[in-house]
Amino acid sequence: MHNASVMHAYLIIGNNSDQLRLEAEKISEKIGSELIPFPLKKIEDARQLLRFTKLTIPRKTAIYIEAIDEANTETANSFLKNLEEPQKNLVYILSAKSENKVLATILSRCQLIRLKPYAEKVELDEAVNFIDSDKPKKFKLLENLKRKDEAILFCLGLEKGIHKMLISSDSDLLFLSQALKASEELYLTLLKNGNVSLQLTKFVVNFPEKGAWVDI
């Protein structure tokens, strides 16, 4: 990690927006803060954020700024003032696909967290493997998912994989639609309920049965 002594700002580096957001949520939960997404694309966004941070913030709050590497130089320099004069109850969690595109003065004030590269092909491969498995194998595939963030990331990948199947396949559309609905419902349930094991068990038990299957 970069500049570990600075704890009021984090920069997460990764290539998948879902993975980045989940890591931000995990950091926010760990430090006991409320996570507030905030856009930072243009100079007016930076000015609005500066006005917000001048208010008295009574409880621990984490501002999540996605794709800080896409902010132009003027916007990034304006945002820098927030890092130079941090509030007691305010933490910044930034994300980017490449640290090389982040303003050096911002980078130097953040604790750097690098995530493992996320391959989109895995989404389709894992979805096909999961759907094409019987219930005992489905349980086996999910047995190592213990944490909420891991389960949510799997669920999001499964949803994207099924979406790709729906686009590529001309058969089993009803089954794939039901599978997608089940995955979306699992995602929403995981967000509300921390009992990962129970929700995954229900998911496998109630997952629609595969009919005639045609490889894509």
The separation between the first and the last C-alpha atoms of the chain, rounded to the nearest angstrom, is 42
Beta bridge partners of 93: 10, 64
Helix-helix angle 43-53:73-84, to 10 degrees: 10
DSSP string computed for 80-119 = HHHHHS--TTEEEEEEES-GGGS-HHHHTTSEEEEPPP--
213: confidence class by pLDDT, cuts 50, 70, 90: very low
User: Where in the sequence is the domain holding 131, given as residue range(s)?
Assistant: 120-206
Q: Which helix (H) or strand (E) holds 34?
A: strand 34-37
DSSP 3-state of 78: helix
4: confidence class by pLDDT, cuts 50, 70, 90: very low
pTM: 0.63
What is the pLDDT, as a whole number, of residue 216?
Answer: 39
Q: Is the dihedral of CA 25, 154, 160, 178 positive or negative?
A: negative
Are 36 and 66 in the same domain? yes
Contact between residue 12 and residue 111 where contact means Cβ atoms under 8 Å apart: no
Strand order of the β-sheet with 34-37 is: 34-37, 61-65, 90-96, 9-13, 111-114
Are 127 and 86 in the same domain? no
User: How many structural domains are present in the chain?
Assistant: 2
Are 60 and 137 in the same domain? no
Are 131 and 155 in the same domain? yes
What is the pLDDT, as a whole number, of residue 171?
Answer: 66
Within-domain flag for 107 = yes
Residue 115: C-alpha distances to residues 14, 197, 216 (Å): 5, 25, 31
Mean pLDDT lowest among 72-76, 169-173, 174-178:
169-173
Are 30 and 50 in the same domain? yes
What is the pLDDT, as a whole number, of residue 215?
Answer: 42
Helix-helix angle 196-206:173-192, to 10 degrees: 160
85: confidence class by pLDDT, cuts 50, 70, 90: confident
Are 69 and 144 in the same domain? no
Q: For position 85, which CATH number holds?
A: 3.40.50.300
Within-domain flag for 83 = yes
Q: Which tens digits make up the pLDDT trace of 5-27?
A: 436 899 999 888 888 888 898 89
Are 181 and 90 in the same domain? no
194: confidence class by pLDDT, cuts 50, 70, 90: low
What is the pLDDT, as a whole number, of residue 1?
Answer: 40
Query: What percent of the chain is modeled with pLDDT above 70?
Result: 89
pLDDT at 59 over 90: no
Are 13 and 110 in the same domain? yes
Within-domain flag for 177 = yes
b (16+ CB within 10 A) / e for 32-63: ebebeeeebeebebbeebeeebeeeeeeebbb
